[in-house]
């Protein structure tokens, strides 16, 4: 396939980051095409009209205004069936088995960097670009594309990009990675972009109220009440359904024990929530599955790295041990709080993303 190396599709969410991404690439001389992904499931769903949501009707309106300002072609593509399958269903299913999902990472993996990249290449674009704060560099010595943290450490989004493959990195542009957020807003202001002052979207894009109401709407018949147990197995109360709880949760347990109690484990086989004291939340090791390595092909011997177990978590030193299954065992130097199955763990060497995977189970 002969692709146009000057043509780039920009994933436009209607926000300041993706809009400035399109502006910067046009200024660099690229032939820029803006695309917004339609992922809402039904025109009656309230969240598509929500102000500021990255999946809303307003997002399409804002992205179109930016495209008109930049004088670039702009399209809305329908990804709703794939999004429902790969993101919404995954989101619901994970909570139902007592795990805490990360829908943004699933969306990046299956929608943006697989489906949208494929669409971009179908219109002969060599590149897909997004407004993520991260950097891609090519290392001539190893012949590999490397993923690194964004310069603005307060906005770095490399954690959400650990699933990228070498082939995807080859066709991906992340022009915001070398800027700070304040610099991007200033660039947008000077360029006269109509979204320069638009606030960032913080919510899960497809959840209009809260995730519990969303789960009830999608899967109430699959949610069953069950026991709340202490760490010795004593019944302390009843829960509404394991889907409504996550590791580290303290509020909303509906039990009184004379001391603070936290969700320390969720047992889907017993349909039970296990609660304990804060000290019971700490663990030193866990296994991770569905591993993707970026800096090298595979892990053949244990390495030292910094492990990040949540987006807003400071990475901590650990040993990463390869397992025969292809999974890894992560052993922290010091016990860490609220290691949560279903969340992603990403491994770093300084600014370099080594790879990552999904937290499968904690060490006992």
CATH number for 176: 3.40.50.620
Domain count, the chain: 3
Residue 47: the pLDDT is 45
Residue 107: active-site member: yes
Residue 203: the pLDDT is 65
Token readout for 115 is 């489906």
Whether 253 and 121 map to the same domain: the answer is: no
Whether 320 and 187 map to the same domain: the answer is: no
Residue 104: active-site member: no
User: Judging by DSSP bridges, how do beta strands 262-267 and 172-173 pair with one another?
Assistant: unpaired
Whether 161 and 129 map to the same domain: the answer is: yes
C-beta pairs of 234-239 under 8 Å, 24+ apart in sequence: 236/261, 236/275, 239/272, 239/273
Whether 158 and 287 map to the same domain: the answer is: no
> Looking at the domain assignment, is residue 112 inside a domain?
yes
> Looking at the domain assignment, is residue 27 inside a domain?
yes
User: Judging by DSSP bridges, how do beta strands 172-173 and 125-129 pair with one another?
Assistant: parallel
* Tens of each residue's pLDDT in the chain, 364 residues: 689 999 999 999 999 999 999 999 999 999 999 999 988 655 555 444 444 455 567 788 999 999 999 999 999 999 999 999 999 999 999 999 999 999 999 999 999 999 999 999 999 999 999 999 999 999 999 999 999 999 999 999 999 999 999 999 999 999 999 999 999 999 999 999 999 999 887 667 777 768 899 999 999 999 999 999 999 999 999 999 999 999 999 988 988 878 899 999 999 999 999 999 999 999 999 999 999 999 999 999 999 999 999 998 999 999 999 999 999 999 999 999 999 999 999 999 999 999 999 999 765 5
> Looking at the domain assignment, is residue 321 inside a domain?
yes
Q: Residue 131: CB partners within 8 Å, gap ≥ 6?
A: 11, 13, 15, 17, 18, 19, 20, 21, 176
Residue 243: the pLDDT is 97
Domain region containing 261:
224-276
The residue with tokens 């939340």 is 281
Residue 2: the pLDDT is 83
Whether 237 and 124 map to the same domain: the answer is: no
Annotated binding-site residue? 13: yes
Catalytic pick among 21, 55, 104, 107: 107
Q: Which of 248, 276, 304 is the last residue of a domain?
A: 276
Catalytic pick among 21, 54, 55, 205: 205
Annotated binding-site residue? 131: yes
Whether 271 and 353 map to the same domain: the answer is: no
Residue 50: the pLDDT is 47
Residue 178: the pLDDT is 98
- For the domain that residue 261 is a member of, what is the CATH number? 2.30.30.280
Whether 114 and 252 map to the same domain: the answer is: no
Residue 49: the pLDDT is 44
Whether 99 and 240 map to the same domain: the answer is: no
Whether 120 and 48 map to the same domain: the answer is: yes
Rounded to whole angstroms, the maximal C-alpha distance in the chain is 69
Q: Which of 169, 191, 213 is the last residue of a domain?
A: 191
Taking the alpha carbons of 296, 302, 307, 310 in that order, is the dihedral positive or negative?
A: positive
> Looking at the domain assignment, is residue 210 inside a domain?
no
> Looking at the domain assignment, is residue 48 inside a domain?
yes
Tell me how far apart the alpha carbons of residues 192 and 348 are, in angstroms, rounded to a whole number: 37
Q: Which of 216, 249, 276 is the last residue of a domain?
A: 276
Annotated binding-site residue? 272: no
Whether 50 and 148 map to the same domain: the answer is: yes
Whether 79 and 59 map to the same domain: the answer is: yes
Annotated binding-site residue? 12: yes
- For the domain that residue 345 is a member of, what is the CATH number? 2.40.30.10
Annotated binding-site residue? 37: yes
> Looking at the domain assignment, is residue 218 inside a domain?
no
> Looking at the domain assignment, is residue 202 inside a domain?
no
Annotated binding-site residue? 233: no
Annotated binding-site residue? 124: no
> Looking at the domain assignment, is residue 214 inside a domain?
no
Whether 43 and 134 map to the same domain: the answer is: yes
């Amino acid at each position: 396939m002969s692709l146009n190396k000057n043509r780039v599709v920009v994933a436009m969410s209607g926000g300041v980051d993706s809009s400035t991404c399109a502006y910067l690439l046009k200024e660099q001389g690229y032939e820029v095409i803006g695309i917004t992904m339609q992922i809402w499931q039904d025109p009656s769903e309230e969240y598509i009209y929500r102000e500021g949501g990255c999946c809303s009707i307003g997002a399409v309106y804002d992205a179109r205004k930016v495209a008109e300002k930049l004088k670039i072609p702009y399209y809305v593509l329908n990804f709703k069936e794939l999004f429902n399958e790969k993101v919404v269903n995954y989101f619901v299913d994970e909570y139902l088995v007592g795990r805490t999902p990360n829908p943004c990472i699933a969306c990046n993996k299956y929608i943006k960097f697989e489906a949208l990249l494929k669409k971009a290449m179908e219109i002969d674009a060599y590149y897909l670009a997004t407004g993520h704060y991260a950097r891609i560099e090519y290392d001539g010595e190893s012949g590999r594309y490397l993923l690194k943290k964004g310069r603005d450490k307060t906005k770095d989004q490399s954690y959400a990009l650990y699933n990228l493959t070498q082939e995807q990195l080859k066709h991906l542009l992340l022009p915001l990675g070398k800027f700070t957020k304040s610099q991007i807003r200033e660039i947008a202001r000077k360029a006269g972009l109509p979204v320069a002052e638009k606030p960032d979207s913080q919510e899960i894009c497809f959840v209009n109220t809260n995730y519990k109401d969303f789960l009830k709407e999608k899967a109430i018949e699959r949610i069953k009440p069950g026991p709340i147990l202490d760490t010795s197995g004593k019944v302390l109360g009843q829960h509404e359904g394991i889907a409504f709880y996550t590791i580290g949760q303290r509020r909303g347990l509906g039990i009184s024990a004379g001391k603070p109690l936290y969700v320390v484990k969720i047992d889907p086989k017993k349909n039970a929530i296990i609660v304990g004291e804060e000290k019971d939340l700490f663990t030193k090791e866990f296994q991770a599955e569905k591993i993707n390595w970026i800096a090298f092909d595979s892990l053949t011997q244990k390495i030292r790295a910094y492990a990040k177990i949540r987006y807003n978590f400071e990475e901590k030193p650990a040993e990463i041990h390869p397992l025969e299954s292809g999974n890894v065992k992560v052993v922290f130097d010091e016990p860490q709080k609220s290691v949560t199955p279903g969340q992603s763990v990403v491994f770093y060497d300084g600014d370099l993303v080594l790879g990552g995977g999904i937290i499968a189970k904690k060490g006992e």
